[in-house]
A and B are shown apart, each in its own frame.
Chain A
Amino acid sequence: MLKIRQPIYDEIRRHGEETYPYECCGALLGRVEGDTRTVSGSVRCRNTRTDSASDRYEIDPVEAVRIQRDARTRGLDIIGFYHSHPDHPAQWSATDLAEAHWFGCSYVITSVEKGKAALTNSFELTGTDENNKKLADEKIEVISK
Chain B
Amino acid sequence: MPQIQIPSPLRQYSGKQASVEVPAKTVGEALDGLVSQHPELKRHLYTDEGKLRAFVNVYVNDEDMRYLQKEATKLQDGDTISIVPSIAGGY
**Which residues of A approach B to under 8 Å, CB–CB?**
23, 25, 27, 32, 49, 52, 55-59, 61-62, 64-66, 68-69, 72, 77-79, 81, 83, 85, 88, 92-93, 95-96, 99-105, 107, 125, 129
A102-B43 CB under 8 A given contacts A61-B59, A66-B62: no
A102-B7 CB under 8 A given contacts A62-B59, A129-B43: yes
CB pair A77–B62 under 8 Å, yes or no, is: no
Cβ contacts under 8 Å, B89 to chain A:
56-57, 83, 92-93, 95-96, 99-100, 107
A129-B5 CB under 8 A given contacts A93-B89, A96-B89: no
Choose among B59, B82, B91 the residue with the greatest number of A CB atoms under 10 Å from its CB.
Answer: B91
CB pair A49–B5 under 8 Å, yes or no, is: no
Q: Is the interface of A mostly helix, strand, loop or mixed?
A: mixed
For the complex with contacts A72-B18, A129-B44, 17 further pairs of A-B residues with Cβ separation under 8 Å are: A49-B90, A55-B90, A56-B88, A59-B87, A59-B88, A61-B64, A61-B86, A66-B62, A68-B7, A68-B82, A78-B7, A78-B8, A83-B89, A99-B89, A99-B90, A104-B9, A129-B43
Give B30-46 as 1s and 0s: 1 = Cβ < 8 Å from A's Cβ atoms: 00000000000001100
A62-B7 CB under 8 A given contacts A57-B89, A68-B82: no
Cβ contacts under 8 Å, B43 to chain A:
129
A120 to B7 Cα, complex, angstroms: 26
Cβ contacts under 8 Å, A65 to chain B:
5, 59, 62, 82, 84
Residue contacts A-B, CB under 8 angstroms, 24 given: A27-B87, A32-B8, A56-B89, A56-B90, A57-B89, A59-B88, A64-B87, A65-B62, A68-B82, A69-B80, A72-B18, A85-B91, A95-B89, A95-B90, A95-B91, A96-B89, A96-B91, A99-B55, A99-B86, A99-B89, A100-B89, A101-B87, A102-B87, A103-B9
